Amino acid sequence: MAANTDRFDEDAAAWEADPACVTSAELVYKALLQHVPQFQPGGKKPDILDVGGGSGTLSFMLAPHVHTLTAIDIAPSMVAAFNANAAQRGAHHMEAVIYERDLPDFTVAPEATTRLLQTVDGKAPEGPVRWDILLSNLVTHHYSQLNEWMQIAYFSLAPGGRIVMTDFEHTGPDSALFHAPGKRDSIPMHGLKPAEISKLMSDAGFVDVSVKRVFSLDKAVDPQEAGGRTSIEFPILLCLGSKPMR
C-alpha cells in the first residue's frame, strides 16, 4: 500500500492539470447527469460517498447537484488538495478524509458525513450514516478483491441507494497501455469486463444492474509499445446497481 500511496501523492499536484484527467471527469459528469436518476432535476439531492475522490476534479462538478459529498482517498496530499479546493469554493457541504484501503477504518467516512449534515441541516442524522450514492471513477480496477468491495459498497448504501462506477473496459492487450509501464505492477486488472462486473454486482445483492459504454477516452500512449500509435481510445463503462428498498 505504501507504494500506491506514494505514487498517488506524487500525482496529486499535477492531477487537476492533466488534460486526460480533466477531459475524463467532464465526460463522466455528463454521463452521470444523463443516466443516474438521483441527479435528475426536481428530486431530493443525494448524499454521496465518493471513493477515490482525488483532488475533487469530478466531485466539484457535481457540487450543485448533491446534498453532501464525502470523498475518501488513500493519498494524504489528494485529501489536502480536495479540502483546500472545498474551502476556496465555499463548498461547506463537501469534505475529504483519508482512507487506508488495506486497514480500513469504517468510522472515518460516516463521521465526516455527520459533520457535513450538521453543517448543512443543522442537526445530526438519525441512526447510522448510509449514503444515497456510492461513486467511484477510475478506481474499481485498483481493487484485487472485488467481491469484498461490492459487499462493502452494498452495506454502505441506504435502501434504494445506488452504486455508480465508471472505469475503462478491458478489451484485450491494449488495455494494459492505459497505465504507464512504471505504474502497472500495482494494478490488479487492466480494465473491467462487463459480464464479470455485472455478476459481481448481482451477487452482492444489487438489482437493476446495468453496465454499458458511455464514451471513449483518447489517452496518450508510448508509441514503442503501441505499434507506432501515439494515443488509443479506451472505452469507458458506466456500471449502475440499486440496493433494494427492502
Q: What is the average pLDDT across 97-105?
A: 76
Q: Which domain holds residue 144?
A: 2-242
Ranges 15-24, 61-70, 188-197, 218-227: which has the least confidence: 15-24
Res 197 pLDDT > 50: yes
Res 140 pLDDT > 90: no
- 170/163: higher pLDDT: 163
Q: Crossing angle, helix 194-203 and helix 146-156, to 10 degrees?
A: 50
Domain tally, the chain: 1
Q: What is the pLDDT of residue 188?
A: 59
d(CA 94, CA 232): 34
185-195: burial string, b at 16+ Cβ within 10 Å, e else: eeeebbbbebe
136-154: burial string, b at 16+ Cβ within 10 Å, e else: bbbbbbbbeebeebbeebb
Percent of the chain scored above 90 by pLDDT? Answer: 58
Res 8 pLDDT > 80: no
Residue 161: which CATH number? 3.40.50.150
Res 113 pLDDT > 50: yes
Q: Classify 148 as helix, strand or coil.
A: helix
> Of the candidates 5, 4, 118, 98, which has an alpha carbon nearest to the alpha carbon of residue 53?
98
Q: What is the pLDDT of residue 186?
A: 67
Read off the pLDDT band of 225 (50, 70, 90).
confident
Read off the pLDDT band of 1 (50, 70, 90).
very low
Number of H helices, E strands in the chain: 7, 7
Q: What is the average pLDDT across 131-142?
A: 87
- The verdict on pTM exceeding 0.85 is yes
Q: How many CB atoms lie within 10 A of CB 228?
A: 7
Residues contacting residue 152 through CB under 8 Å, at least 6 positions apart:
none
Q: What is the pLDDT of residue 148?
A: 86
Per the prediction, the chain carries an average pLDDT of 87
